[in-house]
Structure 1
Amino acid sequence: MHIDAFIQRFSAGLTIMEALPLPQARRAYDKRCRSFAPPDPVGMQINDCRIKGVNVRLFTPQQRTPGRVLFIHGGGFTVGSTDSHHGPAASLANLLEQEVVSVNYRLAPEVSYPLMLADCRDVMEAIQPIALVGDSAGGRLVMDLAHSLEHSPPLGLIYPPVGELSAECLGESAPLLSRQDVLRLRQECPEIIATQRDRRPPATSIEVLTVARDPLTRPIETTVAEWRKQRASVGYRCAEHMVHAALHAQAELPEMGDAWRDFCLALKQRL
C-alpha cells in the first residue's frame, strides 16, 4: 500500500465518524483501524478478561519468555479500544516474544484524564510489567504512569503528546492530525499538558517511534534531546513519509513496517 492510499482510506472513515453519535463513532473507528490489521500471528492465544475491574485483552505468543508488557492504545482519549489496536498489540507480542496486556481504559468525555490513568495504573500494579508501551494518547498515559514510579521499567513510546503542546512548539499540520486537532485536545484534556514533568525523563531506558509527517514530532524530538542531556538512554527512529495512525497499517506500509520492527527489536533488547 502507498501512504496516500492509507491516508485516503483512513480519512474516509474519520469523515463518516463525524456524522455519528459518539458510541457509533467509536465502533466505526474500531472497525476502520482493525481493517488494516493482518491476520493474528500463528499460534497466538488471545483472551479478553478483567483485571482489577478493568477490561483487558491478553496476547500470548507461541514463543514466549517470562514477563508481561503493558500496552495502552491511542485515539485522542475519546476513541480507541483493544479492538482498534488489536493489530499493533498482537504484532508487539509476537516481536517481543512476551505476553502483552492491552488495556481498555475508560474514555473522555465520560471520565476525566486522572480516571483513565487510574484504570491503567490498576492494571499495571496487578501485572507488574517488564515494559510499558503506549501509542499516541496511550504514550502520554505511559509516561505519566512511569513518572509515578520510583524505578520505571523500559518504555516504548509511539508518537506521544509531550510537553506543553502549544502552537509555538508544534510542527506543521499533516494528514490525519492537524495542529488544530492537537490544540483542541489540549483544551479538552488540560491535564495532559506536561511542561514541567516532561523536563525530566520518565524512565532511564526509553525507545521512541515517530513519523515524519506529524505536528507532534517536533516537540518529541526536542524532548528526546533534553532527556539525553539528562543521561537517559533513549533510542529514536522516525518513519519517513509516514503519518499519525500509520502504525495500524504497518504490515502494508514498508517504511512504517521497517521502523516498527526496529522499534520492537530495540525495545526487546532492553527487557
Structure 2
Amino acid sequence: MDIADFERQFDQGLTAMADLPLPNARQYYDALCASFAPALPNGMTLTDDRIGNVPVRRHIPRHHNPGVVVYIHGGGFNLGSLDSHQGVAAGLAEALSREVVSIGYRLLPEAGYADALDDCRQVIAEISPAALVGDSAGGRLILDLCHDPDASPPLGLIYPPAGTLTAETLGPDAPLLSRDDVFAAWEAMAQGSPAVDDLSPPARQIEVLAVSRDPLTAPLEDAVSRWREDGAEVGYYLAADMLHGCLHAREQLPAMAEAWRSFCHALKQRLDN
C-alpha cells in the first residue's frame, strides 16, 4: 500500500460515515480503523476488564517485562473505542514488551470532556503506569492530565493537538483532517478542558511521533521546542508524506513503519533503563 491508496480508502470510509447517525458512524469507524490493523501478535492475550466504571482492555504479550503502559485512543473525542484502536494498542504492547491497558473512556456529546478526563484519571490512579501513550485526541487527554512534570511517567504522544489551537498556530489543511475538523473538535472539548499553563512540559521524558501532512504538526513542533527549552528530554519522529490516521496502517506504509519503530524503540529504552 502507498499513501495514495491509504488516503483513498480512509477518505471513502469517512465519506460513508458522514450521513450516518452517530451510533452507526461509530461502528463504521471502528471497522474502518480495524481493517488496516495487522494480525494480533503471536501469543498475545487480550482481556476485557473494568476499573471502577471504566471499561479497559488488557493487551499482554507472550514475553513481557514488569510495568504496565496505559494507552488512550484517538477519534476526535466523539469516535474511537477499544476496538477501533486495538491494533495500535496490541502493536504497542509487542514493541514495548509490556502489558498495555487501553481505556474505553466516555465520548462526546453524550458525556463531557471532563468526564473523559475523569475516566482516564481513574484508570491511571489505579494502575500507576510505567508510561502513558495516546494518539490524537488521546494524546490531548494525556496533556490535560499531566500537570506536574516531576510526577508524570514517560509519555508517548502521537500527533496530539498541543497548546491552544488558533487560526494562526494551526498548520494548513491536509487530506483526512482539515482545519475545520480540528476546530470543530476543539470547540466541542474546550468547555471541559482544564485551564492550565500548557506551555510547560507535561513530563520530563517525552517521545513524540508526528506526520508531515497534518494541521496539528505545526503547533506540536512548537510545543516540542518549548518543552526542550524548559529542560524536558523530548524525542521527535516525523513520518514524511504521511497523514493523520496513518497510525492504523503503519505496517503497510514504510515511512510510517520506520517512524513508529523509532518512536517505540526510544520509549522502550526509557522504560528499560
Unmatched segments (≥5 aa) in structure 2: none
How far 1:208 moved relative to its partner?
Answer: 0.2
Mapped partners of 1:35, 1:245: distance in 2? 13
The one-letter amino acid of 1:88's match is V
Q: Which runs of 5+ in 1 are unaligned?
A: none
Cα deviation, residue 140, structure 1: 0.6
Q: Give the aligned residue type for 2:107.
A: L
Residue equivalent to 2:107: 107
In the other structure, the counterpart of 1:11 is: 11
How many Å apart are 1:144 and its aligned residue? 1.7
Deviation readout 1:135-188 (Å, 9 max, x if unpaired): 100001111222267510000000000111101001110011011111122222
Q: Deviations over 1:2-40 (max 9, x none)?
A: 001001101111111111100000000000000000100
Q: Which secondary structure state, in structure 1, belongs to the residue aligned with residue 175 of structure 2? A: coil
When the two chains are superposed, the root-mean-square deviation of aligned CA atoms in Å is 1.3
- SS of the residue aligned with 1:160? coil
CA contact (8 A) 2:149 2:204 kept: no
Measure the CA separation in 2 of the matches of 1:34 and 1:192.
Answer: 29
State the alpha-carbon separation in 1 of the partners of residues 106 and 61 from structure 2.
26
2:59–2:100 contact (8 Å) kept in structure 1: yes
Query: 2:57 aligns to what SS in structure 1?
Result: strand
> Where do residues 35-74 of structure 1 align in structure 2 (5 Å cutoff)?
35-74=35-74
Q: Deviations over 1:35-80 (max 9, x none)?
A: 0001000000011111111101100001100010000000000000
Partner of 2:188: 188
- Indicate the SS of the match to 1:147: coil
Assess if the C-alpha contact under 8 Å between 2:88 and 2:247 holds in 1.
yes
What TM-score does the superposition give when structure 1 sets the normalisation length? 0.97
Match of 1:120 in 2: 120
What's the TM-score, normalizing by structure 2?
0.97
Moved more, 18-27 or 142-151: 142-151
SS at match of 2:198: helix
Point out 4+ residue stretches in structure 1 off by more than 2 angstroms.
191-197
In 2: Cα distance, 1:192 partner to 1:224 partner: 24
2:257 maps to 257
C-alpha contact 2:159 2:244 (8 A) present in aligned 1: yes
> How many angstroms does 1:264 deviate by?
0.5
8 Å CA contact 1:227–1:234 kept in 2: the answer is yes
What is the deviation of 1:191? Answer: 4.1
Listed one character per residue, the Cα deviations across residues 197-248 of structure 1 (whole Å, up to 9, x for unaligned) are 2200000000000000000000000110011000100000100000000000
Change (3 A) 1:214 1:194: farther
CA–CA separation in structure 1 for the residues paired with 2:225 and 2:114: 28
What one-letter code is carried by the residue in structure 1 that aligns with 2:152?
S
2:234 is aligned to: 234
The answer as to whether partners of 1:209 and 1:260 remain within 8 angstroms in 2 is yes
Counterpart amino acid of residue 155 in structure 2: L
Do the aligned partners of residues 192 and 251 (structure 1) sit closer, same or farther apart at CA in structure 2, a change above 3 Å counting? farther
Deviates more, 1:185-194 or 1:204-213: 185-194
| Counterpart contact for 2:205–2:234, Cα < 8 Å | yes
